[in-house]
Amino acid sequence: MRNCGLGILLSFIALAGAIGDSALGSELDLSVGVGYEFISQEYFLDSLVQSGQDSLAATTALKTTYLDDLKAQLHLKYSPFEDRKVLLGSQYEQTSEFVRAKLLADYRPRFGRSRLDITSELDWRGRYEGSVEPGDDYLLGQTRARLTVPLSGSVSARWQLRADFVDFDSSSSFNYDHYRLGAKAGIGKFFADFSMLDIDLFLVTRRVPDSSELNYTNFGAEGAFLGFYANGDFDLFGRTEWKDYKQAGNKGDYWRAELEGRNKIRLADDYFTLQEIDFELSLFGGSDLISYDYTRLGFTALLGVEKHGLTFGLGGDFEHQSEINTEIGAGDNYFEAGLAAELDYIRLDQFFGSLESVWGYRKLENESDLQSSFSFERLDLIADWKLLGVINLNILLSAEWEWHTNKGENSQVFLVSSGLSYCL
Amino acid sequence: MNMKNQIIRSVVIWLILALVAAPVFSQSETDNGAINNLRHQLGQVRDLLDRAKDIVRSSNNPIAERALIEAMKLWENARDNFDRGRYRIAAFLCRQAGEKAKAALSAARMAEQYEGAVVRRLERAGELLDRAKEAIASDDRQNLHAIYESARHNLDRAWEFYRSRIYKPALKLANQVEKTAEKIISASRDRIRIEEKFQRQLEKVNQLVEQARMTVADCDREAARHLLQQAEKSFGIAQEMEREHKPKAALQALKRARQMAIEAIRECQGMEQMLRRHERLRTQADRLSDMISPGSGASGDAARKLIRQAYEQLDLAREHIDKNQVEQAAASLKAAQLALSRAERHISNHQ
């Protein structure tokens, strides 16, 4: 495996060297930078429960920092032709314990009115410091080829093949080598008012050489519609799928359906209303103690204003989950309601930012001494900023706080992923 | 007497013994059933604990693990009390062990921190991210590509956490990836919406330039011809910029084309000319209205309807003229003219 990583690293260097004198019309993007990643969880354990009534301590906070890494990174992208139909790339990243190298290749030729789109990726990670544990070193590869053929002025057909694999240096029950093969076929239609409809059928199969229990076949259909009307637009996405693990008693099998909808109505003076709906139904084939059929329905309604690339929306966010036939009695049924605020700012090729906050309350139908209803605050920030045309700063941040009726269950989670790079 | 007393005493004692023994014997039969039932319940809870062990272990959830340990202790106590014949205490502890085992399972599921659910979420996040990549394949905005790369990186991280059996951050990262992918898809669709809006504007300006062409052809003025050339050139640039995915430049060129076309029309048709044309059309409408004879049938009705439409457009044109809105006034006059032409054809057919 380490040889694979070395191979990728050498390819990286070779790629960089080969394009040293780039041909006319070619394009080279090279960036160097640093990044920081932080993931931490804090939760509270009631020591009266843990240690008995005689314990003097009341509540103990347990903090786990899963990731606190500073990394150096080098990215390279090379397009040999002006039309960018071929794109080669490589990424190198190093933290205090790990090295990661990635090779990317995209090929997008046209044959008359037909388009072929091939993307491939080879990713290697290895530990160079500390003791190596299962799952630390691996090689991952994936490739996807999609052919789109116009059938008429507005209708096109497409076929897609996809393959991926993971190869670990040492495997365990959670680090298992596997490969997946998938195919997709569908049609797309453009309407005169720019509305568009996509319908696809798909089939994916996973094989795990060391465990037949983890093999599965997944198949289904999905459809998307993007529509326009006089004062607004709407999106609809629907998907239905079956997953079959081919085990006795249909263990792990499920049928799932989901529907996502979004409707935006433009009112006068830059004001708008936005409604979002998210529905999910899962029915499990086998019977075990934790997989129960459920439905989940989410709804968001916002009133907002957008001007000069800035969008602000404020409204309500609701979600209800209902489980069916729970053998253990205490189903995960809940209803939550919250106040949602969204702030987006897009400045063409300079800044993209999105800040979302939901502050609300989740009422559990079945409370116990281990789980009680709670108030929460969820915060998400996505931002990418290009400074002076050569410096790029991006950040993904998520934070979540839960304040339970039973204070011993309070918890908080922080995730930060950021990068600062300089384009040479 | 003594003998008699002794006999009476013996009878009384036997009676008491019989009275006491009867319920004792019947209770013993009931207890045997209850004891068997309790033994069965202990077995059931044991099964539940055995089945829960793997699930709770794979959930890697400390709260669930703690609850399961407590459940197992309670069960051991229940079993111990059962063996010592303390059935009521055993029954109570067995019930508590069962409740605790259920609570442990529930805690393991509560945050969906079990292997199958985590895999489902990670795979779903991957699918969404693939859709995001498809959405930005032909999008030049580097911001979206950079955010996509970060999200892809975080999904890789999420899989690594999953493989290390650290589910909470894996799920949170998957959530974040989903949100990011949705934002990318939404931003990409916003671009489609902008393009759609641009196409509508392009069509409107195209009609205006066409109208300017017709007007300039009639008026034969050098300044108007020059303005029309500028409008046509800007319109061409707008189309070219749009093809090159430069929406801002395309929109600016389109605005300029619109302005030049309006000025070309103005050059030929000042407001005075507009008013004169308005008067001419109104006279024509009056004349055609008089030409429709009673009993002219369906053609007459159609002509009346068209003339009514023409009057409405002429009133609208007058309002635009008063407000100095050349473009709208010209469009209304054109609509009135069209309605009158069609009305004239109906009248001619009837006659």
Q: Is the pLDDT of residue A88 over 80?
A: yes
What is the torsional sign of CA B42, B43, B44, B45? positive
Q: What is the pLDDT of residues B165-205, one digit of tens each?
A: 777 788 888 888 888 888 888 888 777 777 777 777 888 88
Please give the residue of chain A at the shortest CA–CA distance from B56.
Answer: A290
Q: In this structure, is residue B7 part of a structural domain?
A: no
B22 and B47: one domain? yes
What token pair was written down for B153? 């990186």
| Greatest mean pLDDT range, A267-276, A365-374, B3-12, B260-269 | A267-276
At A284, phi and psi to the nearest 5? -95, 140
Q: Given CB atoms, is B345 within the 8 Å cutoff of chain A?
A: no
Between B137 and B114, name the one with better pLDDT: B137
B100 and B27: one domain? yes
Cα(A202)–Cα(A225) distance, rounded to whole angstroms?
18
- Averaged pLDDT, A338-351: 87
- pLDDT for position A327: 60
Mean pLDDT, chain B, as a whole number?
80
B108 and B145: one domain? no
Between B299 and A375, name the one with better pLDDT: A375
- pLDDT for position A278: 92
- pLDDT for position A5: 54
Nearest CB to B176; choose among A41, A262, A396: A396
B132 and B100: one domain? no
Q: Given CB atoms, is B164 within the 8 Å cutoff of chain A?
A: yes
Beta carbons of A380 and B176 less than 8 Å apart: yes
| Greatest mean pLDDT range, A54-58, B223-227, B339-343 | B339-343
For helices B167-219 and B142-163, give the axis angle rounded to 10 degrees.
Answer: 160
Q: In this structure, is residue B148 part of a structural domain?
A: yes
- pLDDT for position A355: 94
What token pair was written down for A272? 């708008």
Beta carbons of A394 and B150 less than 8 angstroms apart: yes
Q: Given CB atoms, is B175 within the 8 Å cutoff of chain A?
A: yes
Q: How close B148 gets to chain A, by Cα (Å)?
A: 10
Q: Given CB atoms, is A424 within the 8 Å cutoff of chain B?
A: no
Q: In this structure, is residue B282 part of a structural domain?
A: yes
B80 and B46: one domain? yes
Q: Is the pLDDT of residue A234 over 80?
A: yes
Q: What is the pLDDT of residues A119-176, one digit of tens each?
A: 999 999 999 888 888 778 889 999 999 999 999 888 999 999 999 998 988 777 667 7
Residues in chain A within 8 Å Cβ distance of B157: 37, 67, 417
What is the torsional sign of CA A389, B186, A338, A283? negative
Instruction: Find residues 364-393 of chain A whose CB sits inside 8 Å of chain B.
Output: 366, 368-371, 380, 382, 384, 386, 392
| Greatest mean pLDDT range, A46-50, A357-361, B12-16, B219-223 | A357-361
B147 and B178: one domain? yes
What token pair was written down for A162? 């996809």
Between B22 and A381, name the one with better pLDDT: A381
- Averaged pLDDT, A109-127: 90
Using 50, 70 and 90 to split pLDDT, how confident is the model at A39? Answer: confident
Domain count, chain B: 3
- Which pTM does this prediction carry? 0.68
Q: Is the pLDDT of residue B302 over 90?
A: no
Cα(A342)–Cα(A305) distance, rounded to whole angstroms?
11
Q: Given CB atoms, is B199 within the 8 Å cutoff of chain A?
A: yes
Q: What is the pLDDT of residues A175-233, one digit of tens each?
A: 778 899 999 999 999 887 778 899 999 999 999 887 777 789 999 999 999 888 878 88
Beta carbons of A398 and B153 less than 8 Å apart: no
Nearest CB to B163; choose among A174, A329, A346: A174
Q: What is the pLDDT of residues B12-71, one digit of tens each?
A: 666 665 544 444 444 444 567 778 888 888 888 888 888 788 778 776 677 788 888 888
B34 and B109: one domain? yes
Quote the percentage of chain B above a pLDDT of 70: 84
- pLDDT for position B351: 63
Cα(B197)–Cα(A373) distance, rounded to whole angstroms?
46
Alpha helices per DSSP H over chain B:
2-59, 62-83, 87-110, 115-136, 142-163, 167-219, 222-243, 247-268, 271-291, 297-322, 326-350
Candidates B114, B150, B152, B191, partner chain A, best to mutate (most A CBs within 10 A) = B150
Task: Give the least confident one: A13-27, A326-340, A390-404, B211-225.
Answer: A13-27
Q: What is the 3-state secondary structure (H, E, C) of chain A?
A: CHHHHHHHHHHHHHHHHHCCCCCCCCEEEEEEEEEEEEEEEEEEEEHHHHHCCCCCCCEEEEEEEEEEEEEEEEEEEEECCCCCCEEEEEEEEECCCEEEEEEEEEECCEECCEEEEEEEEEEEEEECCCCCCCCCCEEEEEEEEEEEEECCCCEEEEEEEEEEEEEECCCCCCCCCEEEEEEEEEEEEECCCCCEEEEEEEEEEEECCCCHHHCEEEEEEEEEEEEEECCEEEEEEEEEEEEECCCHHHCCCEEEEEEEEEEEEECCCCEEEEEEEEEEEEEECCCCCCCCCEEEEEEEEEEEEEECCEEEEEEEEEEEEEECCCCCCCCCCEEEEEEEEEEEEEECCCEEEEEEEEEEEEEECCCCCCCCCEEEEEEEEEEEEEECCCEEEEEEEEEEEEEECCHHHCEEEEEEEEEEEEEC
Q: Cα–Cα–Cα angle for A74, A76, A77, nearest 5°? A: 155
Q: Given CB atoms, is A417 within the 8 Å cutoff of chain B?
A: yes
Cα(B238)–Cα(B257) distance, rounded to whole angstroms?
8
Q: Which domain holds residue B152?
A: 122-188
Please give the residue of chain A at the shortest CA–CA distance from B133.
Answer: A119
Q: Given CB atoms, is A41 within the 8 Å cutoff of chain B?
A: yes
Domain closes at, from B113, B147, B167 = B113
Instruction: Find residues 145-164 of chain A whose CB sits inside 8 Å of chain B.
Output: none
- pLDDT for position B206: 87
User: Look-up: residue for tokens 């990262």?
Assistant: B173
Beta carbons of A254 and A281 less than 8 angstroms apart: no
Using 50, 70 and 90 to split pLDDT, how confident is the model at B113? Answer: very low
Beta carbons of A127 and A97 less than 8 angstroms apart: yes
For B237, the 3-state DSSP assignment is helix
Q: Is the pLDDT of residue A257 over 90?
A: yes
Cα(A29)–Cα(B16) distance, rounded to whole angstroms?
105
B134 and B87: one domain? no
- pLDDT for position B24: 43
Residues in chain A within 8 Å Cβ distance of B62: 45, 62
- pLDDT for position A3: 52
Q: What is the pLDDT of residues B64-97, one digit of tens each?
A: 888 888 889 999 999 999 998 888 889 888 888 8
Instruction: Find residues 284-313 of chain A whose CB sits inside 8 Å of chain B.
Output: 288-291
Q: Is the pLDDT of residue A53 over 50?
A: no
Q: What is the pLDDT of residues B128-170, one digit of tens each?
A: 888 888 888 777 777 888 888 888 888 888 888 887 777 778 8
- pLDDT for position A332: 75
Q: Is the pLDDT of residue A303 over 90?
A: yes
Q: How close A285 gets to chain B, by Cα (Å)?
A: 14
Beta carbons of B172 and A370 less than 8 Å apart: no
Least Cα distance to A247 among A217, A281, A276, A209 occurs for A217
Least Cα distance to B165 among B119, B121, B125 occurs for B119
Q: Given CB atoms, is B44 within the 8 Å cutoff of chain A?
A: no
Domain closes at, from B156, B188, B220 = B188
- pLDDT for position B108: 73
A25-99+126-135+150-157+169-423: CATH architecture = Beta Barrel (2.40)
Q: Which residues fall within 8 angstroms of residue B128, CB to CB, at 6 or more apart?
A: B177, B178, B181, B182, B185
- pLDDT for position A362: 95
